Structures are given as C-alpha cells and as structure tokens.
Structure 1
Amino acid sequence: MDILKALEVCGGAARRPALARLGVDDAALRRAVRRGLLQPGRGLYALPTAPPDLVAALRNRELLTCSSATTFYNLWSLPSDGRRHVYHRRQEAVCGDSAHHAGLLLPPPQFQPVAALADVLIHALRCLPFAESLVIVECAVARGDMTVDFLRRRLPGNRNGTARAVLDWVDTGADSLLETLARTYFRQAGIHVQPQVYLERVGYVDLLLDGWLVVELDGRHHADWKQVQKDHRRNNESVLQGYTALRYYYGDVVYRPQEMVAQVIAVLNRRR
C-alpha cells in the first residue's frame, strides 16, 4: 500500500509495525522522509497534518479514550477541559496531566491508538459530567453502533450507579447534541417532550412540548439570510396553526440551560 494511504488508514500517524502490516516497506519510508512527506521520530511516522493527540498517544504507547476518542468515532462532544484521556497498562507511565482510565473490555482497533468504542463509552460514563457523557453515548446508540443494555450490563454494582443513571436518559431520534440536551433538560423538569414531530406545512420541528409549544434549536454560528428567512416562515406558519414557537441556540442549551428551561416553563404556565 502507498505510504500516504497507509497513514490515512491509521489516522495520520503510525508506528513502523503497523505500517509494515499494511505493506509499507523500509525503502518507501526512507523515500517519504527524504521528500519531506513524513515527520519521523523513534519508530513513529506522521503526516504533518496528523492530530497532536494521536501522535502523543503513539509516542507514549497509550490508547486514546473517553472524550479524547470522540473525533475518531465521529461522536458528538461538548467542549472539554483540554486534558487527554488515555489508557495505559501502567498508570505511572501516563504523562503530564492526562486523565488515566483503567481496564479494557475489548481489543482496540488494529491500526489506531484508540480504545474500542465500548470502552470509550464506558470510560466516558464513569469519568465525565452528566451532559458530556450523555451526548457521547446517545450519538453511538442513535447510530446503532451500541445499545444501552450492553453498556448497562457492563456497569454493575454501586460504584457504577452514577454511570447507569446517565443511561436512563438516553433516547433516539435526536438530530444533534442540542436536541439531546434540550429534550433531557425539559424532561427532567417534568415537561412532556416529543422530538422530531411533523407539522403540516411546517415540516419536522425539533421538539414539541405539551403538544403545543414548538422549540427549535440552532447550532449554527453564522446563519445565511435565506435560511433565516426560511426559519422565520416556519415559525410563522406554526403560530398560524395555533402553536407557540421558541428558538434557542448553542450557547443557550450548552451554557445557559437553566435560563432556557425557566423561560419554557413560564410560557407553558400561561396556557396551563
């Protein structure tokens, strides 16, 4: 296999044995290094664009896991504290302020220094705050890559009670982490929530609360004008049909959820 394609399979960086298993010989590696295509270092070869976390994991013989593995599995994630979350068979070998996770259930992928998906999710449930772990797990479950029952069976005992409690709120049907979080916050407040409801001449709305309050969620930072007009027309049509419409953005859902919930409850109480 071509050296560049082999490194792409490995995520952008790899050690010599992994490249050899993909059919890359020493001569090809030397040619790539001379041409400046690779950044070599003690048996490690990386593209200039390789993710720094990946390179660090390979250098330290670690496996990325928890929130540090979400990119490799294309999982939803919230802003983190910047720490690397890793597995190493010897905890004392973990470098710097990285968060160490013990124990693996399944073998990791063959060509990338990342824990298996099940281990990534279990580590996230045990390690991260409620909202962060919820969106990661729900993304995997909604895609069909994991089941709640599988995770629950592997989180026994009192010490995993907090992790299992997160699983109680995992659902399917959300199109984004904003829908997952907003739906959960509203349900925790005792509000009846229906996700992805189809309204005639409006289309699918993100959330329908108590059968009449439409909540739309927008994660875009810079919406184009045509889309803004389309959203406003949808809101107007829903109001004409007797619904009330509210719209919230990323900052509202992620950083100010209590304010969002309070506003929704105030609107619902008017009808009640």
Structure 2
Amino acid sequence: MTPDYMTRAEILAQGQTRRSIQAAVRSGGLIHVRRDRYLPEGSEDIFVRALRVGGRLTCLSLLALFGVFVLENRRLHVHINPRDGRLRSPSNRKERLDPGSRSGPVIHWTQPLEHPGLSCAVGILDALVHAVCCQTPRAAVATLDSALHLGLITHLQLREVFAALPARFRVLETLVDGRAESGPESLVRLMARVLGCDIRLQVSFDGIGRVDLLLDGWLVVECDSKEFHASWQQQVRDRERDLALAALGYSTLRLTAAKIMYRPDEVLAALRGLVLSRRPV
C-alpha cells in the first residue's frame, strides 16, 4: 500500500543513465520529489508531500489510509528522524518549510520503533504512538480500538505501543477494547464508563441481532452512521428492531455518528438523563 522511494544510485544500478532519469522526470514516469528521492509515476500525492518534506507519512494521515478511525485529520503528519534536517514545503521541494505555520505539516521528531527501509511511511506501531500523542485521550482510545478491531495490531503489539509512550499515557491501555466496531461506538463506551454504567459490547438477541452497547442491562445504544443507515429501508429495519427490543423490556437510544463525534456534550447529557432515571435516588 505504501510505495518505496528510489535514490539516484538505485536507479542507475538498474541500468538507467543520468539522461534517461532526466527524461523520465520530464515525461512524468518518475517524480523527483526532493534531492536524491524519486517516486514512480502514479504515487499518491499524500506520500509525495510527506517525502518532499523530508520524512515519512505517519500518525493520523497514515492511519486514515488504512481505514483506522481518527476523529480529526486536517493536516499532513510527517515523521522526521531527530538527526535529519533540510525540511522543505510539502508543495515545493525548493522552498524551506516554515515550522511555525499552523496550516503546515505536523512534524513528529522521534526515533522510530520500526525501520521500514525506503518506504514513504512509518510502520503501524510508530503511527499509533504518534496518534496517541496527537489526540485527546478519548480519541486516542478510539483509534487504538479501531486498529485492534481491524487486525492491524495484536494485543502484544499494543503493549509495545504503550511501552514507547510517555508514562502519562499508559493509563489508557486498560480502556482499549478491540471489540468495538466503530470509532463512535468507542466514544460512547467511554462516556458510559464516566457514568459508572455496567457496559456490554456487541450483545446478541435471538431473532433480532446484535446491538452496539447494552448499558446497565436495559438501555440499548446504537451508533448509526450515514453509510449504513441512510436508506429508508434500513431505517424501517432499525425501527422494527427497536420495537422487538421494547417488547423484551429494553429501551433503545439511537445516536448518529456525527452527533457523537462533534456534539459529545449533548450525547453525554442524554445518556446521563436516561441512565439516572432508572437508578435509585
């Protein structure tokens, strides 16, 4: 998925000449990203930009390409080895990078856990280490949940991630749960934990199917995304499930992914109101 860059020496070793390299760059067969760094034609722009800066793609920028949940991903994230320098603008290899720009790339100056050779991206463990440092605690847990759920890392590798992080982050390890099937589901689980709920994930009901969360043994919480719940047919099926659950004595709260991610205070207030309504005063 992540392309390998080539150096001039490697291209010459393949039988090319200085002139043929120049011709390939002019025709678009090769992309001259920065000094002594070339990428093949068709390489994704996000890798070109990261390599042009002088490092490798990492953190939220890379994880999003793998389908890992990230709450916000607005800037290019680039890993730079501490000994490296000569950083350039992601859009112009001849222009020096302005490190103070708020719209420029986020630079991660760390020693890598993994050494991916000539790859344009760091390894998945390094990307996760950077992502934990770059996000709020709840967003970081949701990202780690997602990586586990997708099978991109094992529980043993999760320990490696936390071993590489500053000690203040290690409390988050106990909160990670790879059973969560979406980032919004992870975020709601963390809210329910704050409320002291008894939490069960991915609970199956005979003849009805699985639900995202079951809180305190009676409140079903479903985290709906536009991707899977936009059609009227799906909405009808959702309501039929809710009716069937109600017949068994369960209440259902349906939340949109957008509301969970961008209006969390409202979601927390709704959860608190429902949960406390059943608890003894």
Q: Could you say which TM-score interval applies, normalised by the shorter chain? A: 0.7 to 0.9
Letter in 1 for 2:122: A
Selected match of 1:154 from 151, 164, 168: 164
Selected match of 1:80 from 73, 79, 103: 73
Identity %: 27
Which residue pairs with 1:62 in the alignment? Answer: 55
| In 1, Cα distance between equivalents of 2:16 and 2:242 | 62
| In 1, Cα distance between equivalents of 2:68 and 2:10 | 26
Which residue pairs with 1:244 in the alignment? Answer: 251
Q: Contact between 1:67 and 1:85, CA under 8 Å: does it hold in 2?
A: no
**Alignment gaps of 5+ in structure 1:** 1-8
**RMSD (CA atoms):** 3.0
Q: How do 1:129-140 residues align onto structure 2 when only pairs under 5 Å count? A: 129-140=136-147
1:80-100 superposed Cα distances (whole Å, 9 cap, x missing partner): 342434324346544333222
Superposed displacement of residue 231, structure 1: 0.8
| In 2, Cα distance between equivalents of 1:90 and 1:176 | 38
After superposition, the Cα gap between the structure-2 partners of 1:179 and 1:18, relative to the gap in structure 1 and judged at 3 Å, is farther
Moved more, 180-189 or 55-64: 55-64
TM-score normalised to structure 2 length: 0.78
**Alignment gaps of 5+ in structure 2:** 88-96, 99-103
Superposed displacement of residue 250, structure 1: 1.3
Q: Contact between 1:218 and 1:248, CA under 8 Å: does it hold in 2?
A: yes
Which residue pairs with 1:182 in the alignment? Answer: 188
Q: What SS does the aligned partner of 1:67 have?
A: helix
1:85-127 superposed Cα distances (whole Å, 9 cap, x missing partner): 4324346544333222222343333453111222111122223
After superposition, the Cα gap between the structure-2 partners of 1:65 and 1:270, relative to the gap in structure 1 and judged at 3 Å, is same
| In 2, Cα distance between equivalents of 1:128 and 1:72 | 17
Is 1:117 equivalent to 2:127 in the alignment?
no
| In 2, Cα distance between equivalents of 1:88 and 1:109 | 13
TM-score normalised to structure 1 length: 0.80
Superposed displacement of residue 25, structure 1: 5.9
Is 1:225 equivalent to 2:232 in the alignment?
yes
Superposed displacement of residue 53, structure 1: 2.5
Larger RCO (CA under 8 A, 6+ residues apart): 2
Which residue pairs with 1:15 in the alignment? Answer: 6
Which residue pairs with 2:38 in the alignment? Answer: 44
After superposition, the Cα gap between the structure-2 partners of 1:41 and 1:100, relative to the gap in structure 1 and judged at 3 Å, is closer
| In 2, Cα distance between equivalents of 1:206 and 1:18 | 54
| In 2, Cα distance between equivalents of 1:19 and 1:182 | 50
